Amino acid sequence: MTTLEIRDLHVDVAQTDSDAEPIHILKGVNLTVKSGETHAIMGPNGSGKSTLSYAIAGHPKYQVTSGSITLDGEDVLEMSVDERARAGLFLAMQYPVEVPGVSMSNFLRSAATAVRGEAPKLRHWVKEVKEAMTELEIDPSFSERSVNEGFSGGEKKRHEILQLDLLKPKIAILDETDSGLDVDALRVVSEGVNRYKERENGGILLITHYTRILRYIKPDHVHVFVNGQVVQSGGPELADELEENGYERFLTAKAG
Ligand SMILES: Nc1ncnc2c1ncn2[C@@H]1O[C@H](COP(=O)(O)OP(=O)(O)OP(=O)(O)O)[C@@H](O)[C@H]1O
Ligand SMILES: [Mg+2]
């Protein structure tokens, strides 16, 4: 049983012009995700959802100014990015990065070696990757392609789930894993996430704009994220209400 606990988290982002003042994006986020739970975060563009995922993963541009993130009581903010991955945190990014010159197969094996603490035995590993790729309906030729280079939007998202499958984190943060997927890919990717949840009893933090994916991946909790904060939490019915009415009620509540 694992618990990711985020308490009163404040995060600034460094601007590209290093003389410019950092911008205050997260303004006191509170959130608890446990093994076996699926939490959906929904909120308007620019409200800070990806910032939250980067802060958890330890992206150097995102500076935690106060508050805490702990994993089973261990201080995540004290950990390097690698240590966070080894501790069982995983982030599927909204915009996965391309790594020219590094093949998918080498990348995946290095990542698995880093997370597991030893290199997977080659024979087992080849089988493991093959099975995972088959389940996710990924063409074997992708193994030899450079990481994400020239991948279509949907192909990148599928590969994020392939990593999820192979790295078996305790808590997975999925930032708009559904964006840009066609209906078939949405199903395949959702099934991948559900398999992960069943096999690993993983905790999931799913950032999304659409209730479409929530038909496949059933959230236990839905959080409305506005202006750097969780402003309301509820059950799956909250997602339906957002789909129906948008965020206006929360935005005006905030302004008033
Ligand atoms: N590296 C950066 N430099 C400057 N501003 C940034 C940076 N990263 C984030 N921001 C700003 O922080 C705010 C929150 O961005 P973030 O990406 O977290 O939003 P989001 O909720 O994920 O939005 P979306 O739904 O569009 O993905 C935005 O106004 C964004 O422009
Ligand atoms: Mg985002």
Q: CA–CA separation, 111 vs 107, rounded Å?
A: 6
Element (H, E) at 40: strand 38-42
Inform me whether the pLDDT recorded for 89 exceeds 70.
Answer: yes
Task: Write out residues with Cβ below 6 Å of ligand 1.
Answer: 13, 15, 23, 25, 43, 45-51, 61, 94
Q: Which pLDDT does position 7 carry in this prediction?
A: 98
For residue 94, the ligand 1 atom closest to its alpha carbon is 27
Q: Which pLDDT does position 188 carry in this prediction?
A: 94
Q: Which domains does the chain have, with CATH numbers?
A: 3-99+167-255 (3.40.50.300)
SS3 for 148?
coil
Q: CA–CA separation, 256 vs 251, rounded Å?
A: 9
Tens of pLDDT, residues 42-60? 999 999 999 999 999 999 9
* pTM, two decimal places: 0.94
CA angle 206, 153, 102 (to 5 degrees): 100
Region 85-101: what's the mean pLDDT? 93
Which residue, judged by its Cα, is nearest atom 10 of ligand 1?
13
| Contact assessment for residue 39 and residue 223, using Cβ atoms and an 8 Å cutoff | yes
Inform me whether the pLDDT recorded for 132 exceeds 60.
Answer: yes
Q: CA–CA separation, 155 vs 138, rounded Å?
A: 8
Q: CA–CA separation, 129 vs 238, rounded Å?
A: 37
Alpha helices in 43-103 (DSSP H): 49-57, 81-87
Question: pLDDT grade, residue 256 (50/70/90)?
Answer: very low
Q: Which pLDDT does position 150 carry in this prediction?
A: 94
Distance 49 CA to ligand 2 centre (A): 5
Which residue, judged by its Cα, is nearest atom 18 of ligand 1?
48
Residue with tokens 């012009």: 17
Q: Which pLDDT does position 16 carry in this prediction?
A: 82
For residue 44, the ligand 1 atom closest to its alpha carbon is 25
Region 195-208: what's the mean pLDDT? 97
Inform me whether the pLDDT recorded for 135 exceeds 50.
Answer: yes
